[in-house]
Amino acid sequence: MSSITAAITAVGAYVPDYKLTNSILETMVDTTDEWITTRTGIKERRILKDEGKGTSYLAIKAAEDLLRKRNLDPAEIDLVLVGTATPDMPVASTAVYVAAEIGAVNAFAYDMQAACSNFLYGMSSAARYIESGRYKKVLLIGADKMSSIIDYKDRTTCIIFGDGAGAVLFEPSEEGYGLQDEYLRSDGKGREFLKIEAGGSILPASEETVRDKKHFVYQDGKSVFKFAVSNMADVAAKIMERNNLDHDDVNWLVPHQANKRIIDATANRMGLEHSKVMMNIEQYGNTTSATLPLLLHDYEKQLKKGDKLVFAAFGGGFTWGAIYLTWAYDS
Ligand code: UT7
């Protein structure tokens, strides 16, 4: 294990202005505010309405927020990673465009795709680059324009997802703060439960795929829920056990925001009180790659140097895992 630790040293975020509320959804599909709230915990989501703007728009805004807050010269960034399930286009990489637009002229850049675990896996990748000693500043962005792949006539998916982006900077820590341990898992047998069937190499776009709505997210919600609820809790418990953390030691759970019931189950399994659980699903819904950095952004002011954070996520693929990280700065 490297002696260099990789710490998060800055956070930025962006969500579009437009709020798609439960009451608006009631006018679009056969649903109710009561059903959505009790089954998911979501009240509203943000949607990027502007035509011609894609995920890079959200990612650039989040990165610019971070650069401004940290007063950082983008030319100092070595690497830009973008986790996204909704790249601007299948080719070329969204991250490469984002890097150019924010002025990260000395960086290389690429996208990562592991659905709702994008940011969690991205933290692992970003940390490895820093721990190698070769790179000093890695910008990790989680961004998704989920509204571009959602059928707003399908009540089983359109109530869940929203658009947004968050960014963090990873740098070497001289004090040993940052990523301490990770437990990352995947199981390809899960891909039938949560997918977009067409538009890839198995089923390229055609008149039929468009007609049959195969370019939208399909989710067997009940099955995904079952896997998510047990696996997210399992990995969170495992990372605590492996690092001799009990519920008093953990300051914050940073859980993927897919469903409040999944988050509650994970927190219960960890023995954590409600006040230690970061949650903003009510305002943003599930923003896929952006949920974890949006939480860090919303709770940044409450975080203290040395705080022990457990991140946990579960997503399509299936992909899931947990990360134990210590916070490196007081806001
Ligand atoms: O982030 C990636 C990972 N994704 C997840 O973790 C999502 C996991 N899944 C879930 O969060 C939940 O399964 C959902 C929120 C998607 C659905 O909640 P559920 O409690 O599992 O509902 P269900 O799918 O079992 O459906 C229950 C009933 C069904 O009616 P019947 O068959 O019992 O008559 C559905 O047709 O609720 C119906 N229903 C709705 N009713 C009102 C489904 N969607 C809606 C809706 N409004 N929007």
Based on C-alpha coordinates, what's the Rg of the chain? 19
For residues 168 and 222, membership in a common domain is answered with: no
| HSE-up of residue 330 (Cα within 13 Å, Cβ side) | 0
Residues with Cβ < 8 Å from 109, sequence gap 6 or more?
Answer: 79, 80, 81, 82, 93, 95, 96, 98, 99
For residues 115 and 132, membership in a common domain is answered with: yes
Looking at residue 331, its pLDDT comes to: 85
Q: Is any ligand 1 atom within 6 A of the Cβ of residue 199?
A: no
Cα torsion angle, 203, 207, 212, 213, sign: positive
Is 331 contained in some domain?
A: no
Q: Is any ligand 1 atom within 6 A of the Cβ of residue 320?
A: no
Last residue of a domain, one of 156, 176, 196: 176
- Among 156, 256, 287, which is best to mutate for testing ligand 1, by the most ligand atoms less than 8 A from CB? 156
Q: Is any ligand 1 atom within 6 A of the Cβ of residue 286?
A: yes
Q: Is any ligand 1 atom within 6 A of the Cβ of residue 33?
A: no
| HSE-up of residue 83 (Cα within 13 Å, Cβ side) | 30
For residues 248 and 245, what is the distance between their CA atoms, to the nearest angstrom? 8
d(CA 154, ligand 1 centre) in Å: 11
For residues 202 and 130, membership in a common domain is answered with: no
Going residue by residue through the chain, which has 331 residues, state the pLDDT in tens, using 9 for 90 and above: 568 999 999 999 999 999 999 999 999 999 999 999 999 999 999 999 999 999 999 999 999 999 999 999 999 999 999 999 999 999 999 999 999 999 999 999 999 999 999 999 999 999 999 999 999 999 999 999 999 999 999 999 999 999 999 999 999 999 999 999 999 999 999 999 999 999 999 999 999 999 999 999 999 999 999 999 999 999 999 999 999 999 999 999 999 999 999 999 999 999 999 999 999 999 999 999 999 999 999 999 999 999 999 999 999 999 999 999 999 999 8
Residue positions annotated with a catalytic role: 116, 256, 286
For residues 218 and 84, membership in a common domain is answered with: no
For residues 318 and 189, what is the distance between their CA atoms, to the nearest angstrom? 7
For residues 226 and 285, membership in a common domain is answered with: yes
For residues 12 and 159, membership in a common domain is answered with: yes
* DSSP of 39-57: HH---EEE----TT--HHH
For residues 168 and 274, membership in a common domain is answered with: no
d(CA 264, ligand 1 centre) in Å: 17
Query: 48 lies in which domain range?
Result: 5-176
The CATH number that applies at residue 121 is: 3.40.47.10
Atom of ligand 1 nearest to the CA of 219: 16
Q: Is any ligand 1 atom within 6 A of the Cβ of residue 31?
A: yes
Is 265 contained in some domain?
A: yes
Q: Is any ligand 1 atom within 6 A of the Cβ of residue 292?
A: no
For residues 43 and 37, what is the distance between their CA atoms, to the nearest angstrom? 6
For residues 215 and 245, membership in a common domain is answered with: yes
Last residue of a domain, one of 138, 158, 176: 176
For residues 77 and 226, membership in a common domain is answered with: no
DSSP conformation class of 32: -
For residues 324 and 192, what is the distance between their CA atoms, to the nearest angstrom? 30
The residue whose CA is least distant from atom 35 of ligand 1 is 156
**From the CB of residue 150, how many other CB atoms can be counted at a distance below 10 Å?**
21
d(CA 34, ligand 1 centre) in Å: 13
Is 103 contained in some domain?
A: yes
- Provide the number of structural domains found in the chain: 2
The pTM assigned to this predicted structure is: 0.97
Asked if residues 284 and 228 have their Cβ atoms less than 8 Å apart, the reply is: no
Residues with Cβ < 8 Å from 317, sequence gap 6 or more?
Answer: 114, 115, 117, 186, 187, 188, 190, 191, 194
* Structure token digits, residue 46: 């943000």
For residues 100 and 241, membership in a common domain is answered with: no
Is 67 contained in some domain?
A: yes
Last residue of a domain, one of 142, 176, 210: 176
For residues 163 and 236, membership in a common domain is answered with: no
For residues 64 and 95, membership in a common domain is answered with: yes
d(CA 219, ligand 1 centre) in Å: 10
**From the CB of residue 307, how many other CB atoms can be counted at a distance below 10 Å?**
16
Beta bridge partners of 187: none
* Structure token digits, residue 12: 């930025």
Looking at residue 160, its pLDDT comes to: 98
Q: Is any ligand 1 atom within 6 A of the Cβ of residue 230?
A: no
